[in-house]
Amino acid sequence: MAEISSRNRGLRLFARYLVLALVAVVFMFPLVFMVVSSFKPDGQLLADTSSFRAFLPVGDISLDNYRAAFERAPIGQFMFNSVMITMVTVTLSIGICSLAGFSFVFLDWSGRGVILSIVLATLIIPFETIAVPLLLVVSRLPWVGLDGVEWGWLNTYRVQIVPWIVDALTIFLFVQYFKDLPRELIEAARVEGASWLQVYARIVMPLSGPVLATAAILKSLKMYNEQYLWPLIVVQDEAHRPIMVGLGYFFQLNVAWGELMAYLTLISVPVLAFYLFMQRAFIASIASTGVKG
Amino acid sequence: MAHVKLTSVRKSFGSVEIIMGVDIEIDSGEFVVFVGPSGCGKSTLLRMIAGLEDITSGTIEIGGRVVNDLPPKDRSIAMVFQSYAIFPHMSVRENVGFGLTIKGVDKAEKEKKVLEAARILQMENLLDRRPSQLSGGQRQRVAIGRAIVRDPSVFLFDEPLSNLDAALRLDMRMEIGKLHQSLGASMIYVTHDQIEAMTLADRIVVLKDGQVMQTGTPMELFHNPDNLFVAGFIGAPRMNFFEVDAAPVGNGAYRIGAPDVAETVVTAKKPLPEGERAILGIRPQHLSLIDDAGAASADQGVLTGKVALVERLGTETIVNLSLPSGAVLIAALDGDNPVAMGSAVTLAYARTDAHLFAKE
């Protein structure tokens, strides 16, 4: 009897892994195709697409596409821009959105429920609808720098950072997490003489590791992978462009497919490295929020 | 040490009144316990003293200063919470010294005070541990240690022993009692456990539905309860109650009688409303076995019944008696009493130990 049930368990496990492996293979296909194609000349790449050879590193394999990609676009600059914009935005976003969440949950001020609802309502507004008004605003904003006051933020890093710092999803994540923190910890700290800012810095934030990881992961992926339309509008200057805008360099007159694949492979490296580094936190964050990254 | 005074304190959440005009005075160095059933407002009252809840009206004074609008940190109080509320990301040393760190006390002075608190609570060996490595009792010591180091005028305890098992609860109860004696600070302690209240308190405040039902020393409440609620709440096993006819015979005395209670004369603490039935209360500890009704003396009342259940606890024997009307009476007899299940017995009580209340 025990033998049968143990065999059944083994079979069930095998079936489960088989399904998971099949799903993994399906998801891996585009990635494998991208990497393999990045080593092939365009002619062979296009010819191979009709067969399984498209997923195998066979035929005329070389690093020519990488060389050409580097010549065609300033990849290093684009990657630096994207990584820098992502890191600064994520850091500021976590700081400011967590403070907002803290205020919504712990501070007693009238109208906070209504204001939180309004903030959350902005989740349903697609970016495309506010892109043009936002362009008008940022094109006229002042900036006080070392050279005095400048007008207009176009062609800068800050125009790609500031509008993305505060977002409803990140605030929502912090609000939900803070609500579940034991209220008595906050009250104990208050009784012990901590100011609200000390409660935030010394009690709440050190206990918020899981939500910090979730917010950082979701925000980083969004900033690195999805910054295309906005930089296209506000940055004409090559020195400030992020990686996604760099894709356009490979779509001129004739699409250079091999170089495009090389470029995509290169820009995927930081994301994959980030994913592997934060894999456990990444899975936990998706599971806990039910939000797709 | 500080004197605490609550005057006409009220608290409402919307239209619901939780605390209905409470007046309490707590002397310097006194240990006062707020006791009452769940939802009676005792924790809310404590949180109002701590400054964690606003008060709707009235005044709260600590050390002669009105603190209604002061934040918790300026009230010179320390609070120990039911869930301990120790910070999980800090070591015991950091937890105990948290208030001093916030205050900016210098490192050497802080370490000295933390070690002193650890010595008092016998937890010197735990200082470098994290809360997750501590047992429930040890966590509660850390919470108490955090309160001690700040040298507050008033200690507030919000059901601090509720999360501990029975044996640990007894140990910690004794430790809190000792702590009060050694520190001599004013302490306000909230509990729903009347044994905790009786053993720890200099004075008990019994609360029900946001109102003070009676204030007094544990023995005052035990021997002279003002009303049915206090009579039923204080004392274990609970006081026996019988609905009786009561006819005044002068000097506050009434001739009482009921199907289960032999006719006798009992004095009421307060005059009873005329023409209404009354409630006779007899504590289980005040009942003793006699051979038969004829053996009762003139100043004793008598009850008879059949033994339905015997619980032998060693120090005492708890007997459940089935009375002629079917009502149940509980008697606490001495531990070695040979009373047997099913036997018919006669119990006597001193008339001066009986309580007579108006029917509510």
The answer on pLDDT for A186 being more than 80 is yes
Residue A171, both tokens: 């605030």
Cα gap A239→A262, rounded to integer Å: 21
Point out the residue among B81, B88, B99 whose CB comes nearest to the CB of A193: B99
pLDDT digits (tens, 9 = 90+) for A104-143: 999 999 999 999 999 999 999 999 899 999 999 999 999 9
Task: Tell me what the mean pLDDT of segment A52-61 comes to.
Answer: 89
Contact call for B72 and A189, based on CB within 8 A: no
Query: Per the CATH hierarchy, to which homologous superfamily does domain A76-250 belong?
Result: MetI-like (1.10.3720.10)
| β partners of residue B334 | B316
More confident residue, A118 or A252: A118
The torsion angle over the Cα atoms of residues A248, A249, A253 and A259, rounded to 10 degrees, is -110
Residue B55 has a pLDDT of: 94
Contacting residues of A for B79, CB less than 8 Å apart: 187-188, 191
Residue A3 has a pLDDT of: 66
Contacting residues of A for B86, CB less than 8 Å apart: 188
Q: Name the average pLDDT for chain A.
A: 90
Which is it for strands B31-35 and B203-208: parallel, antiparallel or unpaired? parallel
pLDDT digits (tens, 9 = 90+) for B8-23: 999 999 899 999 999 9
CB pairs under 8 A between A and B: 55
Which is it for strands B355-358 and B4-13: parallel, antiparallel or unpaired? unpaired
Contacting residues of A for B143, CB less than 8 Å apart: 188
Please tell me the pTM assigned to this model.
0.83
Residue A293 has a pLDDT of: 38
Contact call for A192 and B50, based on CB within 8 A: no
Residue A286 has a pLDDT of: 63
Q: Does A197 touch chain B (CB under 8 A)?
A: no
What's the order of all strands across the beta sheet hosting B31-35? B77-80, B154-158, B186-191, B31-35, B203-208, B211-216
pLDDT digits (tens, 9 = 90+) for B322-340: 998 889 999 999 988 888 8
Q: Does A191 touch chain B (CB under 8 A)?
A: yes
DSSP conformational letter for B100: H
Contacting residues of A for B103, CB less than 8 Å apart: 193
Range of weakest confidence among A118-127, A144-153, B217-226: A144-153
| β partners of residue B310 | B319
Task: Tell me what the mean pLDDT of segment B179-208 comes to.
Answer: 93
The answer on pLDDT for B116 being more than 70 is yes
Residue B277 has a pLDDT of: 85
Spans of all domains in chain A: 76-250
Task: Tell me what the mean pLDDT of segment B58-78 comes to.
Answer: 94
The one-letter amino acid code at A145 reads G
pLDDT digits (tens, 9 = 90+) for A193-232: 999 999 999 999 999 988 998 899 889 989 998 888 999 9
Closest CA–CA distance from residue B10 to any residue of chain A (Å) = 20
In Å, how far are A53, B88, B98, B213 from B226, measured between CA atoms? 95, 45, 44, 8
Point out the residue among B73, B82, B143 whose CB comes nearest to the CB of A190: B73
Contact call for A190 and B52, based on CB within 8 A: yes
Residue of A nearest to B78 (CA): A191
Residue A233 has a pLDDT of: 92
Largest CA distance in chain B: 77
Neighbouring C-beta atoms of residue A140, cutoff 10 Å: 11
Cα gap B336→B317, rounded to integer Å: 7
Closest CA–CA distance from residue A120 to any residue of chain B (Å) = 27
